Structure 1
Amino acid sequence: MSTVVSPIGAMNVLSSSEVSKLQDTSQGGLYKLFRQCALAALNCDEHSDNPYKILEQHKDFDIRIIQEHRGLKLELINAPSDAFVDGKLIKGIRQNLFSVVRDILYVANEVSTDKQFDTNKSDDISNMVFHMLRHAKAFVPKILPNLVVCWGGHSISDYEYKYTKRVGYQLGLRGYHICTGCGPGAMKGPMKGATIGHAKQRTSGSRFIGLTEPGIIAAESPNPIVNELIIMPDIEKRLEAFVRLGHGIVVFPGGPGTCEEILYILGILLHPKNQHIPFPLIFTGPVKAKEYFQQIDKFIGKTLGTEAQRRYKIIIENPPAVAKEMKQGLEEVSKFRKKTGDAYHFNWLLTIDHEFQLPFEPTHEEMAALKLTKDQPTYLLAANLRRAMSGIVAGNVKEVGIQAIEQHGPFKLTGDPELMADIDQLLQSFVDQHRMKLPGSHYEPCYKIMKN
């Protein structure tokens, strides 16, 4: 089955050089990445978190570029049938498909080759993130802070998912827009709830931003509500985009990926230069998820200390309270940005240490070499704990991580005995609560805790 689709938006022409890059099947060419991300955009109703399974189910899928004098078109061969209605590609999916073309080419043509971006300099990396977001038209200047980032797991229970919708509904009633990791579960629920809140308040121009990266989108296709898909080149730039673009964060229950995000934002907020910057951070979930946040809070207290615990608020089973707390926090953000002259649409004043910006490749060697000791500044310990969680996420759901585990066995984490015991206890709680994989699937740990 073959279908030809025209673009939506500004991505309607390509140079012959760009076409060649997207169709380059050689080692290091863009075709594999292009096909994988395009398939994810088309496969928005997929509920698996195994990239192998998704690729195997659609091994006959192909995507080709048709270059005409009138502009660009894409030929889809054996695309997922759920992406079509009466033989026509769903408009939102078509929009996301061309977002894939836009972001992959921009990184390959502009960002990676531009000498103004020195990845050894922290400010240059932040500037790179700014340019990628601006190219994706993610900025709406001169509007008071109203974008709430929602983090949480893709494999949460049904009652947790319904809770995320209730919180999203309360946020939507107050006119807030939603930014998530774009996948299912806690990334979809707040958007779905906010949709109803916006409808009731007759809010126009609803923004449901999905921020992802190639390693994640292969296992977590964009949910159908995302109307602004942005693919960052790696996990670190994705995380920075969240905190630079968003104005406050709500964290729902999840697993190691959610823990990674929590450690990332706490590590940034603990930096001495950021302690005066308001940034609302709320952990919330239903009563049945109380244990999850108790374990997280206990772990943070034992590893990062009470100062880290003061940077967030935990609210259980109370969506209106979450929205009211966020509203109060965003009012403080607005006053601060106005007073300091910082942009409403991009948090320039936030200091992000280079350790939080360097791409981390979760190889066995890099995981074993992580400095998991307390004889370092707290924010740097948070950076290394974040990397450990990132590696576990890779071993659980990312293609490259799964391959590494299959070939060499579990990742080994080594550090101070007390700290390693705390990490082991936290990870075991994720396993016991079925937060490592989709419910009902057997989990084989991709890690092994070692002690010095």
Structure 2
Amino acid sequence: MTEMTVDARVSPEGPLAVLSKAEVNKLLDTSQGGLYRLLHNCSLAVLNCGNYMDDGKELLERYRSFSIQVIQEERGIKLEVTGAPANAFVDGYMIKGIKEHLFAVLRDIVYVSDEINDNPKFDLNNSEGITNAVFHILRNANIIRPRTEPKLIVCWGGHSISREEYNYTKEVGYQIGLRGMNICTGCGPGAMKGPMKGATIGHAKQRINNGHYIGISEPGIIAAESPNPIVNDLVILPDIEKRLEAFVRTGHGIVVFPGGAGTAEEILYLLGILLHPDNREIPFPLIFTGPHSALEYFKQINQFIGDTLGFEAQQRYKIIIDDPARVAREMRTGMRQVREFRHRKDDAYYFNWLLRINPEFQLPFVPSHENMANLELHKNQERHQLAADLRRVFSGIVAGNVKDEGIRAIEQYGHFEIKGDAEIMEPVDRLLSAFVDQQRMKLPGKAYVPCYKIVK
């Protein structure tokens, strides 16, 4: 199938109007260590807005002719795109929101390369250094906003959800918006778009004209989850672990909608952190919610958490079915608790510094066949440590499902083998099988071919 494409040259909107010659050279460097491939892939994902395909490899192959160049001129820089998806343009002009996202990609790639990587100020091998790097990336992207009350609600959930579930996410977002709270998601389609769409209406009815709709992504997932057009602040973190930390450091509460392996990864990440003894007293509102048809889904999630992490983990969240207004009221109450706690502890409202996050949740996990086979999946360890490796199981499956490198690894070497004690592997197998049966692993209409094999 031949895709309609457009060639264009665009000027930046925002602070990144000039680059040094060294920065431009790095962006044009096509060698393995250069930044061109990163800029190319993330930019193509942004330009593919609205044309969701949940397959990074497919996107790159569909637009083989796409290229992007940084043009250095006397008055600043421009980006020249060739073979860009036509749906990013109207009457020959790039849509303004997409152009903002394109330059957000450039901003974050340049900043991480110049200011974070190989900078002795940021030791990316220890917990404090990683958290410091996440803070600086978010601050540079203007996500960190002092002198604001706690009101940022992170919404997690799947890109492959039913129309009924999608409409429910919009209604929850609407109720959240009516109560003056903002939305942060992974910025893609489905449960990442619906809450933002609903919140825009809630904000409009309350005459809130500065609603904040934050999208947080990373290079590996952005091609499969192109940023939706409602996002007015996009930030690209270097990897999935820093992306997840950005969610829990900046968000004041989290709502989880139905999803698949990626949503399970997010749940396990957060529960693993909240189960750490140092975090037991920190208020962190967490609600699992969906329409009545999602009741069985959340029963499965709750059973899985009980079977693997135990009763204590189940006490860290509430399940609310088919009641959007109650979800928003619970979050509003939770915001007061967060505010009171941080005020008492003299912690910032805009960044959760007190939250203890151990290195096993921060250091990048490469989902190779060897690493996936060597995960520690047994109950003879602290629950938060088990959660860390369970999170990696689902992270690897996400990579094998939708990420370009993961898909190619599966094609070359076959299934990931996931091994562990039967009392852990049986709940994992049941949950994954349910995701497949409910078509939560791929967009509707796409046959799912498993990238993993459970070995008990």
In the superposition, the TM-score normalised over structure 1's length comes to 0.99
Contact 2:12–2:103 (CA under 8 A) maintained in structure 1 = yes
Q: Does 1:211 align with 2:216?
A: yes
Q: Which residue of 2 aligns with 1:62?
A: 67
| SS of corresponding position for 1:131 | helix
Superposition map of 1:134-283 within 5 A: 134-283=139-288
State the one-letter code of the partner of 1:13.
V
The answer (yes or no) to whether the contact 2:170–2:197 under 8 Å persists in 1 is: yes
CA-CA distance at 1:57 after TM superposition: 2.2
- Provide the secondary structure at the position in 2 that maps to 1:430: helix
* Cα distance, 1:119 vs structure 2: 2.1
User: Which of these residues, 33, 37, 41, is aligned with residue 38 of structure 2?
Assistant: 33
Q: Deviations over 1:158-209 (max 9, x none)?
A: 1100000000000000111100001000000000000000000000211111
CA distance in structure 2 between the partners assigned to 1:295 and 1:207 by the alignment? 33
Report deviation, 1:51: 1.6
Match of 2:7 in 1: 2
Give the counterpart of 1:17 among 22, 28, 31: 22
| CA distance in structure 2 between the aligned counterparts of 1:167 and 1:2, rounded to whole angstroms | 39
Question: Which among 87, 91, 94 is matched to residue 86 of structure 1?
Answer: 91
Distance 1:74 1:328 in 2: 46
CA distance in structure 2 between the partners assigned to 1:444 and 1:41 by the alignment: 27
State the Cα deviation string for residues 119-175 of structure 1 (Å, max 9, x = none). Answer: 222111111110110111111111110100000000111110000000000000011
Instruction: State the partner residue of 1:420.
Output: 425
Paired with 1:227 and 1:396, the residues of 2 have a C-alpha distance of: 28
Amino acid of the structure 2 residue aligned with 1:72: I
Say how many residue pairs are matched.
451
Deviation at 1:52, TM superposition (A): 2.2
Q: Does 1:284 align with 2:284?
A: no
Report the secondary structure of 2:420's partner residue. coil
Gaps of 5+ in 2: 1-5
Structure 1 CA distance for aligned equivalents of residues 88 and 316 of structure 2 = 42
- Kept in 1, the 8 Å contact 2:57–2:407? The answer is no
- Aligned to 2:34, the other structure's residue is in SS state coil
1:205 maps to amino acid: N
Q: How does 1:289-438 map to 2 (within 5 A)?
A: 289-438=294-443
Q: Contact between 2:265 and 2:394, CA under 8 Å: does it hold in 1? A: yes
- 1:109 shift after superposition: 1.1
- Deviation track 1:303-361 (CA, whole Å, cap 9, x = no partner) reads 11111000000000000000001001111000001111000000000000111001000
Report what 2:53 is aligned to.
Answer: 48
Tell me the secondary structure at the aligned position of residue 78 of structure 1: strand
Identity of aligned residues (%): 64
Give the structure 2 partner of residue 123 of structure 1: 128
> Distance in 1 between the 2:66 and 2:268 partners?
38
- Report SS of the residue matched to 1:101: helix
Q: How far apart, in 2, do the equivalents of 1:448 and 1:2 lie? A: 44
Q: Deviations over 1:208-262 (max 9, x none)?
A: 1100000000111101111111000000000000000100000000001000000
The one-character-per-residue Cα deviations of 1:59-118 (angstroms, maximum 9, x if unpaired) are 111111111111111111121111111211111111100000000111111100211111
In 1, are the aligned partners of 2:174 and 2:201 still within 8 Å (CA)?
A: yes
Structure 1 position 28, deviation (Å): 2.2
Supply the distance in 1 between the matched residues of 2:33 and 2:113 (Cα, whole angstroms): 11
- SS of the residue 2:84 aligns to: coil
Separation (CA, whole Å) in 2 of partners of 1:129 and 1:50:
27
Q: Which runs of 4+ in 1 moved over 6 A?
A: none
Task: Tell me, yes or no, if the aligned pair for 2:56 and 2:221 is still in contact at 8 Å.
Answer: no
Determine the C-alpha separation between the residues in 1 that align with 2:126 and 2:28.
33
Task: Give SS of 1:79's match.
Answer: strand
Residue 99 of structure 1 is matched in structure 2 by 104
Question: Once superposed, what is the RMSD of the aligned Cα atoms?
Answer: 0.8
For residues 444 and 295 of structure 1, the distance between their equivalents in structure 2, rounded to whole angstroms, comes to 22
TM-score, with normalisation over the residues of structure 2? 0.98
Q: Distance in 1 between matches of 2:287 and 2:399?
A: 26
